[in-house]
């Protein structure tokens, strides 16, 4: 994996983790916290979907000296983005099911 895609993935994971921890430790009611967390996760989900779509359509140019290496990077980034989207969907579902309790 190239340094650029690793940095992007690390940034996305760090931003999501920071947001989630910041919201969870904020002194607010549980329902408000869950609403804020759901909003932020939806926002990150949309950004990941756009990134994934750009990767699939080749709009994001990943620099590499060999085309084969570039395809490998795109494939790995796509798989990780899809996994992140799945994890975000699962987390949103868990949060929303917590609202009904």
Q: Which helix (H) or strand (E) holds 40?
A: helix 30-57
Q: pTM of the full predicted structure?
A: 0.39
Give the per-residue pLDDT at 65.
57
| Coil vs helix vs strand at 25 | coil
Give the per-residue pLDDT at 2.
60
- CATH of residue 58's domain is 1.20.58
| Statement: residue 21 has pLDDT above 70 | yes
Could you give the CA distance from residue 21 to residue 15 in angstroms, rounded to a whole number?
10
- Distance from chain centroid for Cα 32: 22
* Segment 40-88, tens digit of pLDDT: 888 888 888 888 787 777 765 555 455 667 677 777 888 888 888 888 8
Cα–Cα distance list, 33 to 23, 45, 69 (Å): 6, 18, 42
Could you give the CA distance from residue 5 to residue 77 in angstroms, rounded to a whole number?
7
Q: Which helix (H) or strand (E) holds 96?
A: helix 67-99
Number of domains in the chain: 1
The two three-digit tokens of residue 13, written as one number:
């994971």
Confidence of residue 3 (pLDDT cuts 50, 70, 90): low
Question: What is the average pLDDT score of the chain?
Answer: 75
Domain span at residue 79 reads 3-99
Give the per-residue pLDDT at 10.
80
Range list of β-strands (E), the chain: none
């Amino acid at each position: 994996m190239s340094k650029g895609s690793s940095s992007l993935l690390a940034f996305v994971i760090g931003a999501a983790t920071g947001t989630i921890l910041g919201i969870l430790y904020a002194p607010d009611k549980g329902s408000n916290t869950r609403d804020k967390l759901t909003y932020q996760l939806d926002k990150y989900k949309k950004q990941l979907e756009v990134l994934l779509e750009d990767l699939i359509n080749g709009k994001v140019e990943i620099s590499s000296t060999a085309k084969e290496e570039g395809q490998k990077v795109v494939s790995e980034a796509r798989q990780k983005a899809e996994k992140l989207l799945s994890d975000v969907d699962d987390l949103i579902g868990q949060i929303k099911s917590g609202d009904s309790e």
